[in-house]
Amino acid sequence: MSGEWIAIDWGTSNFRAWLMAGNDVLDKRSASCGLLHVEPGRFDSTLKMLLGEWVESGSPMIAMAGMVGSQQGWYEVDYCPLPASTDSLLTHSKKFTTSWGSEAWIVPGIRKAPNGDIPDVMRGEEVQLFGLSLLEGIVDFRAILPGTHSKHARMKKREIVDFSTYMTGELFHVLITHSLLGRALPDAVVDDSAFLRGVAASRRNAALSQLLFSARTLRLSGEIPPESVSDYLSGLLIGMEFCTDNTGLVWLVGSTALTRRYQLAANAFGIQTRCIDGDRCFIAGMQSLQQQLAEKQNGQL
Amino acid sequence: MSGEWIAIDWGTSNFRAWLMAGNDVLDKRSASCGLLHVEPGRFDSTLKMLLGEWVESGSPMIAMAGMVGSQQGWYEVDYCPLPASTDSLLTHSKKFTTSWGSEAWIVPGIRKAPNGDIPDVMRGEEVQLFGLSLLEGIVDFRAILPGTHSKHARMKKREIVDFSTYMTGELFHVLITHSLLGRALPDAVVDDSAFLRGVAASRRNAALSQLLFSARTLRLSGEIPPESVSDYLSGLLIGMEFCTDNTGLVWLVGSTALTRRYQLAANAFGIQTRCIDGDRCFIAGMQSLQQQLAEKQNGQL
């Protein structure tokens, strides 16, 4: 099969896949076909449909990460404990064969054990973290992966040693869509000044549930125009992430649109940042894991 | 007309009215007929319908408070600035006559001017605060009025001098109804231990957007049963209110169900509390305002 393989990020809402030849991306596809859209027991046939001609004339290896390995996914793959290395990810991964004969495997997520602290979990972002490490040749770093559930992670000596989840994206969405704060808002405009005002508000020593109400009152008092309320709220929520985590250089891993916002907020806190594309990190991480897995399997032959 | 009058709390979602004779409650009614259910320009006819026989054979004075005085209400009544006394409420109140001849008036809300701080507003709770002052014979106190938008207020020398809004009730509702935290939850049970665990979590030095995710992970890890997630989340959000406001005795003004929760949380912070029924405070406040208004008008004759 000439070294072709497929990398897949299969999440709750979205499906994204890359057809690879070694390190090179040959083709890419995405679909709004996350786990929520797959009927129970239909993962194999759904995947075949999604991959189409990529698997018509062959059965390339398939490497998957994300919520596809969760309780609601194809197979539930146990979380790796911290600290997590690529080795432990591979050891805990789930291997199986698809109905059309592709060898497939699912990267496990990572779990932060409670031991007095609040437990936490991630699925998918661990691959991006290892990808970032490889692409930039760094083994000790802090990174933020913005999104529905923003992740703050720390890598030491090539191992993920700590991380925390902030429900920033989801909070923003439910507040704008379902709360008083979003009621009767016109279409949002980009307003960096409103965004930074939100960031500044996040630094007040007050509860978020209190600060949120300012998105209402500043609109009522005419200090923030209705079309900028969305950016004010975004600044408030993103700023919150930096209030208790604001030391040293931090990598921002994601789309340009999101990392730019985080960079603006980080600057306001005097935090140094570097941005990197999330997809590049994901592909690099999967490529490395896939290669290690192949080497392991060859070693076992 | 024998001194009959009507006190009304007309909010965004609910309508509540009391038929009074002096200090005595003769009758009470409530309807899920808040502002959101009243068509523009239909406040007069809606009120007549809601009051029914109370206004069929007469035209008693009607004293209203709450969002009925907001931009989306019957008349927009300007907010009183801080500090706010009963005198200033009466001065800023809106007086008019209904189509059936009742003299009616709407209590203004209160506004906290920005001057560097975040602006804030209340409508309706100011009446309860003055009522509490009268019922208990206290002129300097702190009070929390739990609800969709929980209010923390301070009265000094019979004047409301400061207050802040916490979106606790609304946050709870949107998170349980629309976020991952509430997805596929069974019916909630009362679980004080889960509630207090939420309160304890609120005291960690971490962003709320981060702490919220624990309502997911503690469920995933089996540490909190699904039917208790709701009480855990409630404890987390209510606890947040005490993290930055936790000195001295505080009055809890509201329904028994809500003030009990706040009392549990306050106890965990070592904060002394006293509870009082919110309706009693509202009626006492309205009665006093109504009496002062009548005296003023008689003085003007």
> Tell me: the pLDDT tens digits for A9-65?
999 889 999 999 988 999 999 999 998 889 889 999 999 999 999 999 899 999 999
Q: What is the mean pLDDT of residues B198-222?
A: 93
Residues from chain A that touch B123, judged by Cβ atoms under 8 A, are none
Q: What is the mean pLDDT of residues B216-244?
A: 95
The CA distance from A230 to A236, in Å, is: 10
Give this complex's ipTM. Answer: 0.91
Rounded to an integer, what is the distance from CA B111 to the centroid of its chain? 15
Give mean pLDDT, residues B77-106: 96
By the 8 A CB rule, do A121 and A127 touch?
A: no
Last residue of a domain, one of A103, A118, A133: A118
Residue A54's domain spans which residues?
1-118
- Rounded to whole angstroms, how far apart are CA atoms B267 and B196? 10
Angle between helices B229-243 and B256-268 (to 10 degrees): 60
Cβ count within 10 A of residue A217: 18
Residue B203: inside a domain: yes
**In this structure, are residues A53 and A27 in contact, taking their beta carbons and an 8 Å threshold?**
no
**Backbone phi, then psi, for B146, in 5-degree steps?**
-65, 155
Mean pLDDT of B65-94: 95
Task: Tell me the C-alpha to C-alpha distance, in Å, between residue B96 and each of A98, B121, B133.
Answer: 75, 24, 28
pLDDT band of residue B118 (cuts 50, 70, 90) is confident
Residue B277 CB burial class (10 angstroms; 0-12, 13-18, ≥19):
middle
Q: What is the pLDDT of residues B165-174, one digit of tens each?
A: 999 999 999 9
Q: Is residue B94 in some structural domain?
A: yes
With contacts defined as CB-CB under 8 Å, which chain B residues touch A174?
174-175, 178-179
Q: Are A104 and A11 contained in the same domain?
A: yes
Q: Do A209 and B244 touch (CB under 8 A)?
A: no
> Both tokens of residue B106?
């709407």
CB B69 within 8 A of CB B101: no
Q: How many CB contacts within 8 angstroms connect chain A with chain B?
A: 121
CATH code, domain with A245:
3.30.420.310
Q: Kindly provide the residue ranges of all beta strands, DSSP E only, lying in A67-189, ordered along the sequence.
A: 80-81, 94-97, 103-106, 110-112, 120-122, 141-145, 150-156, 159-166
pLDDT mean over B74-79: 95
How sure is the predictor about B61, in pLDDT bands with cuts at 50, 70 and 90?
A: very high
**CATH number for position A22:** 3.30.420.300
How crowded is residue B177: how many other Cβ atoms within 10 Å of its Cβ? 12
B105 in a structural domain? yes
Q: Please check whether residues A75 and A142 belong to one and the same domain.
A: no
Same domain, A84 and A222: no
Neighbour tally for B162: CB within 10 Å: 15
Beta bridge partners of A7: A18, A63
* B165 close contact with A: CB closer than 8 A: yes
* Shortest Cα–Cα distance, A165 to chain B (Å): 6
Q: Are residues B231 and B172 in the same domain?
A: yes
Contact call for A237 and B209, based on CB within 8 A: yes
Q: Residue A179: what pLDDT?
A: 93
The helix or strand, by DSSP H or E, that contains position B208, with its residue range, turns out to be: helix B208-211
Identify whether residues A67 and A129 lie together within a single domain. Answer: no
Of the candidates A120, A149, A240, which has its C-beta nearest B207's C-beta?
A240
Q: Are residues A173 and A278 in the same domain?
A: yes
Q: With respect to residue B291, please indicate whether it lies within any of the assigned structural domains.
A: no
Closest CA to B30 of B52, B58, B63: B52
Query: Which residue carries 């916490």 as its tokens?
Result: B166
Which is nearest to B256 in space by CA: B240, B236, B283, B280? B280
B259-B264-B270 Cα angle (round to 5): 115
Mean pLDDT (chain A, rounded): 93
- Pairwise CA distance, residues B205 & A261, whole Å: 24
Contacts of A210 in chain B (CB under 8 A): 164-167, 241, 244
Angle at B136 between CA B130 and CA B139, to 5 degrees: 55
Write down which residue in A118, A134, A154 finishes a domain.
A118
Interface touch B209/A121, C-beta < 8 Å: no
Residue carrying the six token digits 């600057």: A267
pLDDT class for A139, splitting at 50, 70, 90?
very high
The answer to whether residue B152 sits within a structural domain is: no
User: Which one of A178, A206, A223 has the shortest CB-CB distance to B244?
Assistant: A206
CA A288 from centre of chain: 18
Q: What is the CA radius of gyration of chain A?
A: 21
pLDDT in the model for residue B291: 92
Contact B167 A212 (CB under 8 A): yes
Residues A89 and A1 in one domain: yes
Do A250 and A187 share a structural domain? yes
Residue of B nearest to A206 (CA): B244
No. of helices (H) and no. of strands (E), chain A: 10, 14
Interchain CB distance below 8 Å, B118 and A179: no
**Which residue, of B123, B153, B174, is where some domain finishes?**
B123
Give the separation between CA A148 and CA A141, rounded to whole angstroms.
22
Looking at the predicted structure, is the pLDDT value of residue B195 above 60?
Answer: yes
Q: Is B138 exposed, middle or buried (0-12, 13-18, 19+ CB in 10 A)?
A: middle
The three-state (H, E, C) secondary structure of B58-114, written as one string: CCCEEEEECHHHCCCCCCCCCCEECCECHHHHHHHCEEEECCCCCEEEECCCEEECC
Is residue A85 located within the same domain as residue A134? no
Q: Is A177 on the interface with B (CB under 8 A)?
A: yes
Res B299 pLDDT > 80? no
> A 242-281 residues with CB below 8 A of B?
243-244
Residues B169 and B118 in one domain: no
Q: Note whether B207 contacts A208, CB cutoff 8 Å.
A: yes
DSSP assignment, residue A22?
Answer: T
Please judge whether B208 and A209 are an interchain contact, meaning their C-beta atoms are less than 8 angstroms apart. Answer: yes
The single-letter DSSP state of residue A116 is T
Q: Is A210:B177 a contact under the CB 8 Å cutoff?
A: no
Cβ <8 Å between B171 and A212:
yes
Nearest CA in chain B to A171: B209
Examine the domain organization and report whether A129 and A113 are in the same domain: no
For residue B285, give the amino acid letter.
G
A147 and A266 share one domain: yes
User: pLDDT tens across B30-60, in order?
Assistant: 999 998 889 889 999 999 999 999 999 899 9
Does residue A2 have a pLDDT over 60? no
| pLDDT at residue B83 in the model | 96
B217 and A179 within 8 Å at the Cβ level: the answer is no
Q: How confident is the model at residue B1 (pLDDT cuts 50, 70, 90)?
A: very low
> With 50 as the cut, is the pLDDT of residue B22 above it?
yes
For residue A211, what is the nearest residue in chain B, using CA coordinates? Answer: B166
Torsion of CA B191, B195, B196, B200, to 10 degrees: 150
- Structural domain count of chain A: 2
Arithmetic mean of pLDDT over chain B: 93
Q: Is the pLDDT of residue A80 over 90?
A: yes
For residue B4, pLDDT beyond 50: yes
Q: Considering the domain boundaries, does residue B178 fall inside one?
A: yes
Closest alpha carbon within chain B to A237: B209
B223 touches chain A (CB under 8 A): yes
Per-residue pLDDT tens digits for A94-117? 999 999 999 999 999 999 986 667
Q: Model confidence at B296, in pLDDT bands (50, 70, 90)?
A: confident
Q: What is the mean pLDDT of residues B134-140?
A: 97
Q: In what order do the strands lie in the sheet with A159-166?
A: A159-166, A150-156, A141-145, A250-254, A273-277
C-alpha A171/C-alpha A149 separation (Å) is 9
Q: Taking 80 as the threshold, does the pLDDT of residue A245 lie above it?
A: no
- For A160-184, write each residue's pLDDT tens digit: 999 999 999 999 999 999 999 998 8
CB contact, 8 Å: A153 with chain B? no
Q: What is the DSSP letter of A117?
A: S
A118/B217 touch (CB, cutoff 8 Å), yes or no: yes
For residue B175, the chain A residues in CB contact (below 8 A) are 174
| pLDDT given at position A221 | 87
